Structure 1
């Protein structure tokens, strides 16, 4: 203890405890390749480190390697709902298994330049969900920071990009409703422009499914998260002969159900409704909400593996298959 503070255990303390040099401690704890360390010496070092509760200095490790073990996730201006939260939680766990730490940061260029954020952390990799400028990309490459852009198919650069099958979500919704005999569909579009990157491909997927089935394109209405406002959309769909609605997500679908109640109507008899995400409230709704769910643990595992491969300059693994997305049918359809 120094000046009332607990002194940090160092590699020198481990070396003294194990009776070896600091270099040997470094070789053992960093699992340095091409070093012939006897098994007995390795055991003594590991036991000494455990007895002393030694934890390597992250700052020192960063200086030595030129980067940290951090993956910086630059989040766009998205509402962090259950689905994004689940993805971040699963991704954090997957990266931890690979010796990496996830740090999420809103990428607000207006408040702080992106370069200031990643330079403050010196990450192993940056995961972005929107295109960065060529100057930003070049600066990261020069600093040895790997970049993975997961853009739902909208990247201009088409490199280190993860395709998330949002169009398949919309197709599954429309195909589910068509299989139940509905021929005139509606689409409940969100009133939050921040989620257009998800909403647009989902709507396009529903349109593509209808076209493939010989059905008219879905009638789109913007649906706020308000029962009275949603009732206006319900009336518009009813006037257009719509009998079933694909909603952007479960929250919008719940607003449609509220709009039905305002109109004195009920799903699925008057209007069938299917959402997306399978949030906890979906199963508690009245009627219980049908939805499309995506295995976020599988998405996170693929993202984590891709990040590791990009860090090491290797070929990215193939993406997860369509089977990770499925319909959960409940009473609303």
Structure 2
């Protein structure tokens, strides 16, 4: 074994009884080499037992990039979508010999370029980009994508007899708010209902309460609120409490993206749960240039609790 204590290709070759070149072909999944399944398994077993770890710098020089995939995340860190998306992305990359590197928050272009120059990543991804990119959703998008998840809120409220609805929005600008409202209104139109009336529920608490109070005074016909996310839904429930009102008696409130906090409040928050593990796995396959046809996306579902 090498004097440094690091397991090398030579060590794996000696343990598996094959040449160093054969070990390299097997561990790099070289499609141009014909190696028997038994030999491949013997090499991989020896590598696992010895704890062989590829030398990242050497591999990067040979392949032109490292086996690192960078994910930039600048929104949506609280909900189940982000948790399941990152889990699926990480597990799928690992299954193909790659490592996920996650960067949180907005970064200056210079800092971003410094990271890219330092690690030479195989690919750079932006969180949930395929999920959010479609402004003209397909049938699949309406089933298990952004449009379909937005529609779940409206259909759930309509099924419970609500015909006049509002959409509670955050006070920070987001390119997603317009799309969410659009998809919600398209769903309402399909159901023969009027468009949702949007309003902002800002921070801090007192400002949110005043906003809800003013909106209720101006829109007494509204009986249900579809919130942009669980955070906005919880602000809305807090405002109702501060005004001496309750959900769902005075307003039915439904959240979106199932943060852990929604189950801890009273009344417990009804919300949309999104399992995005398949989205993450598809993103990993796309980054590696692999087919993802066998990965099936799971439709979202409503977690029916007490607030709506």
Q: TM-score range by the shorter chain?
A: 0.7 to 0.9
Tell me the equivalent position of 1:247: 227
| Alpha-carbon contact 1:306-1:317 (below 8 Å) kept | no
Unaligned runs of 5+ in 2: 136-140
Distance in structure 1 (CA, Å) of the matches to 2:227 and 2:188:
15
TM superposition shift of 1:246: 0.6
Unaligned runs of 5+ in 1: 131-148, 156-161
Distance in structure 2 (CA, Å) of the matches to 1:271 and 1:35:
66
- Give the CA RMSD over aligned residues: 3.3
Change (3 A) 1:186 1:27: closer
Confirm or deny that 1:325 pairs with 2:300: yes
Tell me the equivalent position of 2:138: none
Distance in structure 1 (CA, Å) of the matches to 2:36 and 2:282:
37
Distance in structure 2 (CA, Å) of the matches to 1:38 and 1:91:
30
Paired residue secondary structure (1:96): helix
Change (3 A) 1:319 1:188: farther
Confirm or deny that 1:220 pairs with 2:217: no
| Alpha-carbon contact 2:202-2:211 (below 8 Å) kept | no
Tell me the equivalent position of 2:214: 236
Distance in structure 2 (CA, Å) of the matches to 1:39 and 1:276:
47
TM superposition shift of 1:290: 0.8
Paired residue secondary structure (1:181): coil
Distance in structure 2 (CA, Å) of the matches to 1:186 and 1:175:
13
Paired residue secondary structure (1:94): helix
In the alignment of these two chains, the number of paired residues is 299
Paired residue secondary structure (2:237): helix
- Between the two structures, name the one with larger relative contact order (CA 8 Å, sep ≥ 6): 2
Change (3 A) 1:91 1:169: same
2:77 pairs with one of 69, 75, 80: 80
Change (3 A) 1:129 1:197: farther
Confirm or deny that 1:174 pairs with 2:171: no
Change (3 A) 1:225 1:87: farther
| Alpha-carbon contact 1:225-1:251 (below 8 Å) kept | no
Tell me the equivalent position of 1:103: 101
| TM-score for both structures, normalised by structure 2 | 0.82
Distance in structure 2 (CA, Å) of the matches to 1:45 and 1:228:
65
